Amino acid sequence: MLAYVTVGSTGFDQLIGVISTPAFLRALSSRGFRRLVVQYGSSSKSFNPPSRVPETLGLSIEHFDYTRWPQQYVDNADLIISHAGTGCILEALHAGKPTIVVPNHDLMDAHQAEIAEELAHGGRDPEWKKEFVRNLNIENSPATENFPPIALSTVDLNGRPSVRMVSPRGFLGDGFLKTSATDQQNTWTSDIMTLCTHAQSNKVQELLSTPDTQLVCWLPRAQAQIRCSGRAHLLFHPENPLYSTLTLDLEHRVWPSRQDNREDVAGDDIPPVVVDPEFVREQAFLHHSPGIQAWYSWPAPGRARALDDSLYPKDLERIKDSLVRDRCKETARRNYALVFIDIDHVDIVNLGQSTRRIYTRRSDNSWTTTNVNP
C-alpha cells in the first residue's frame, strides 16, 4: 500500500516533521503501508526520518521537493496526506482517494484553514453529486427544490428502447424529501435520486421488468451533459396491488448532510438514522401542485381517453362534491409511486471547460473518478 504526502509548491515544516518521526512511520506500517512518497517542497530540512526505522518496518521511502508528474502518485496512492491547498484537495477528490487534509496555520492568511473547514462541513457527498449540484446552480434551479427535466430511458416489454422526460423530485434527504417525520433539519442526505410516476404507467411495468435505467440531462447555461446510470426501486401505496417491501436498504445509503449538524450531540447519544419510505413518498406527493396531484387520479396513462370528462379533474381542491373530492384524492394517492434510483455510474461532460469525468461506485459505496476525453 502506498501513502502519498504532498505540500504543494510551498513548504510545511510541521507536517513534514511529523510524518518523518518513528511514531508516524510505525503507525503507517502497522496499517499495512509498505511505501511512503513525500513531496516536501521547501521543507527539506524538516524531513529527517531515522536511518534504520523504515528498514526494520519494511517501509520504503521516496522523497523529493517537486515533481512534474504528481498525478502518477495520486492515481496509485491508497492514502493521501495533504496540506489544505485547493489544487491538491481537488486532485485527491477527483481520484476518489481517502485523504487527510492538514491546514497550514502559519501562512499569512487563513485560507487553508477556511478550505479545510468548508470541506469538513461538506458532509460525505460524492464528488459527482457536488459537481451535479454546482451545474444545477448555474442553471438557477435550486437542487433541492426544482430539478430540470431529465430524460429517463427504459426497455419496453418488447425489448425496444423507450425514453421520456421526467421531473426528478430531488435527492433523498434533501429539501422536502426528509427521511422521516422526526427529521426536521434535513440531518441526512444521500445520492439516491427520486422520481415519481403514475402506478399504472407503462414505465412502471418496464422498470419492474428491467430495473436498470439511465437518466440524461443537458444544462445549457452550464454547458454540461450529465448521465446517471443505476437501478430503479419502486415504492407504491400500501393499498396498491403492486405494493411490496422496498428492497433498497435506504438507512445504509444516507449520511449526515453536514457534520456540524452533529456537533451538539456526543458520541453514543447520536440517534440512529431512521428512513420512513412511506413518509418520503407522502411528502413528495404533497409538494406537487393541486393540478399535478389531480393527474394521479386520472385513468391509466397511455390508454384510450374516456368520454367522461369528470374522470379528468384539473384541480382536486376545486371539486365541489366533497365525496367525489375525497375519492379522487384517495385514488391519486394510490396511483402515486415513488422511484428511487440507486446511482452507480455517472458521466459528466462539461463543454465549457472541455472536461469529462466518469464516476463509478465501488462495492463499499465509495467512488472512483476517471478523467477521459470529452
| CATH number of the domain that residue 173 is part of | 2.30.110.10
Residues 84 and 214 in one domain: no
Dump pLDDT digits (tens) for 355-365. Answer: 999 999 988 78
Domain boundary among 104, 120, 136: 120
109 lies in the same domain as 61: yes
Angle at which helix 277-286 crosses helix 322-335, to 10 degrees, equals 130
Judged by average pLDDT, the poorest of 66-70, 188-192, 285-289 is: 66-70
Looking at the whole model, is its pTM more than 0.75? no
Contact 367, 126 (CB under 8 A): yes
- Selected residue with higher pLDDT from 98 and 294: 294
In angstroms, rounded to a whole number, what is the distance separating the alpha carbons of residues 104 and 82?
A: 10
- Are 208 and 285 in the same domain? yes
Name the residue range of residue 97's domain: 2-120
Residue 238: closest CA among 181, 281, 267:
281
Which of the four pLDDT bands, split at 50, 70 and 90, describes residue 269?
very low
Residues 80 and 157 reside in one and the same domain:
no
Question: Is a pLDDT exceeding 80 seen at residue 336?
Answer: yes
Decide: helix, strand or coil at residue 189.
Answer: strand
| 204 φ, ψ (degrees, to nearest 5) | -65, -50
Q: Which residue has the cell 365525496?
A: 323
User: What per-residue confidence (pLDDT) applies to 116?
Assistant: 57
Which of 73-77, 89-93, 337-341 is the most confident on average?
337-341
- For residues 235 and 281, the answer to whether their CB atoms sit within 8 Å is yes
Arithmetic mean of pLDDT over the chain:
86
pLDDT above 60 for 194: yes
Q: Is residue 93 domain-shared with residue 11, that is, in the same domain?
A: yes
Q: Are residues 361 and 281 both part of a single domain?
A: yes
Instruction: Answer whether residue 263 shows pLDDT above 50.
Output: no
Neighbours of 227 (CB within 10 A): 17
What is the count of structural domains for the chain?
A: 2
Residues contacting 366, CB < 8 A, separation 6+: 96
- Kindly state whether residues 57 and 187 are assigned to the same domain: no
Question: Can you tell me the mean pLDDT for 196-220?
Answer: 96
- Lowest-confidence region among 95-109, 116-130, 277-291, 330-344: 116-130
Kindly state the average pLDDT of the residues 92-114.
Answer: 70
Which amino acid, 251?
E
Report CA 267 to chain centroid distance, whole Å: 25
Do 39 and 139 lie in one domain? The reply is no
CA 291 to chain centre: 31
Question: pLDDT-derived band of residue 270, with 50, 70 and 90 as boundaries?
Answer: very low
Same structural domain, 159 and 73: no
Give the CA distances from residue 218 to residues 224, 231, 343, in Å, rounded to whole numbers and listed in that order.
6, 21, 18
Q: Which of 80, 97, 120 is the last residue of a domain?
A: 120
Please indicate, yes or no, whether residues 282 and 201 belong to a single structural domain of this protein: yes
Average pLDDT estimate for 302-307:
94
Give yes or no: residues 85 and 139 share one domain: no
Checking if the pLDDT of 275 tops 50, the result is: yes
Residues 282 and 362 in one domain: yes
Give the CATH number of the domain where residue 66 resides: 3.40.50.2000
Residue found under cell 436498470: 212
- In this predicted model, which residue has the larger pLDDT, 147 or 267? 147
> SS3 for 305?
coil
- Of the listed ranges 137-151, 179-193, 216-230, the one predicted with least confidence: 137-151
- Which one of 120, 149, 167 terminates a domain? 120
What is the mean pLDDT of the segment spanning 226-240? 96
pLDDT value, residue 49: 86
Decide which of 189 and 122 is more confident: 189
Query: What pLDDT, on a 0 to 100 scale, did the predictor assign at position 67?
Result: 86
Rounded (5°) CA angle 172-176-182: 85
Distances (CA, A) of 127 to 56, 123, 246, 335, 348: 39, 11, 27, 35, 11
Number of continuous H segments (helices) and E segments (strands) in the chain: 11, 16
